[in-house]
Amino acid sequence: MTEALTRSTAAVVAVDLGGSSMKGVVVDGSGRELATRTVPTPDREVVSALTQLVRDLSTIAAGAGVTPVAAGVVTPGSVDEARGVVRYASNLGWRDLPLRDHLGDALDLPVAVGHDVRTAGVAEQLLGAGRGSDSFVLVPIGTGVAAAIVSDGRLVAGFTGAAGEFGHIPLVPGGELCPCGQRGCLEAYASAGALARRYAAAEGHARTAEEVVASLGSDATADRLWDEAVTVLAQGLNVLTILLDPELIVIGGGLSRAGAVLLEPLTARMESGLAWRGRPRVVVSELGESAGRLGAAVLAFRAAGRDDLLASWRVDPSQDQHP
Ligand SMILES: [Zn+2]
């Protein structure tokens, strides 16, 4: 019986499903990651591969002496969390896919489906840099840029489940073409993907965003592109600040590893762009890349009716893959 399972014997299987990989984890009732498995996202039959990954992790969980009580899956795109439907996910080729029902039927477990970035916001609020805050924005900056908005204690999903597409706020009139079809989007300048793409366009040879950051101060092109990225990002965060009045902005994703190299010029530029009000506190994510799958585990325990187990969760810093 599920009710008899305790913190140390209950577990969930959580999966962060991305366009290139599926990162699965078994999380027990005290929030510990017992096992992880990452597999490539196949070009087709994604739901079958996802089902198999959850089954494999359930077998591993059973071997570790814990019983899976639910599964949680987070995906990119436009997600209707209440119905468990992925309305649209371009890099998975999904449209109006009832993922929760498909997985629930195949696995015979309660299943929760969430949006990857919003669910990372759930984890940051419960366990990470947003702890204790009812009003913050998590902004993961990686290949693209998005936002999880927690406003007055509620996670904002929007009418169609598409709230928080922060990277596609058009900020530069007539600016660079974004893959989304608009011009001048924030993420066409201020993302890891944009830094790499713009460096290659300017210099004719490839650099990763990490290499661009590492060469700041000794490479004029890197300096210029970084300056433009920080300027556009500061402008975008000021739009968020004026619109939402958050207590806190949490920067996550790969680019947050730049640390002070990013935060110092970013906060200075936010301040110079705001005239009549101060800026909110800006910090780096505590959960890093694990926020999505930890959030998926939280949704799964809630789907199993085991919110009681979440109250005592603490994140073990050794689980944090964020340097
Ligand atoms: Zn765009």
Residue 1 pLDDT: 46
Instruction: Give residue 145 CA to ligand 1 midpoint distance, Å.
Output: 10
Q: pLDDT at residue 323 above 50?
A: no
Tokens encoding 147 = 């936002």
Q: What's the average model confidence in pLDDT over 254-282? A: 96
- Do the domains at 2-121+289-319 and 129-284 have one common CATH topology? yes
Per residue in 110-167, pLDDT (tens digit) is 999 999 999 999 999 999 999 999 999 999 999 899 999 999 999 999 988 889 999 9
Per residue in 283-295, pLDDT (tens digit) is 999 998 899 999 9
Sign, CA torsion 152/154/159/164: positive
Q: Where are the domains of the chain?
A: 2-121+289-319, 129-284
Tell me the pLDDT band of 305, cut-offs 50, 70 and 90. Answer: very high
Instruction: Give residue 166 CA to ligand 1 midpoint distance, Å.
Output: 9
296 DSSP 8-state letter = H
Buried b / exposed e along 138-149 (16+ C-beta atoms within 10 A): bbbbbbbbbbbb
Instruction: Give residue 89 CA to ligand 1 midpoint distance, Å.
Output: 15
Q: What's the average model confidence in pLDDT over 184-210? A: 96
Instruction: Give residue 177 CA to ligand 1 midpoint distance, Å.
Output: 8
**Residue bearing tokens 């198999």:** 52
Instruction: Give residue 189 CA to ligand 1 midpoint distance, Å.
Output: 10
Whether 74 contacts 15, CB under 8 Å: yes
Instruction: Give residue 139 CA to ligand 1 midpoint distance, Å.
Output: 16
Integer CA distances (angstroms), 51 to 54, 83, 139, 219, 246, in order? 5, 19, 30, 47, 38
Tokens encoding 293 = 């799958």
Residue 321 pLDDT: 45
% of the chain exceeding 70 in pLDDT: 96
Sign, CA torsion 24/301/77/172: negative
Q: What's the average model confidence in pLDDT over 246-252? A: 97
Instruction: Give residue 45 CA to ligand 1 midpoint distance, Å.
Output: 28
What is the distance between the alpha carbons of residues 189 and 176, in angstroms, rounded to a whole number?
Answer: 8
Instruction: Give residue 213 CA to ligand 1 midpoint distance, Å.
Output: 23
Per residue in 18-65, pLDDT (tens digit) is 988 999 999 999 999 999 999 999 999 999 999 999 999 999 999 999
Instruction: Give residue 88 CA to ligand 1 midpoint distance, Å.
Output: 16
Instruction: Give residue 147 CA to ligand 1 midpoint distance, Å.
Output: 14
**Correct CATH for 2-121+289-319 of 3.40.630.40, 3.30.420.40, 3.40.309.10, 3.40.1160.10:** 3.30.420.40
What's the CATH superfamily of 129-284?
ATPase, nucleotide binding domain (3.30.420.40)
Tell me the pLDDT band of 315, cut-offs 50, 70 and 90. Answer: low
Task: Find all residues with CB under 8 Å of 220, minimum gap 6, and list them.
Answer: none
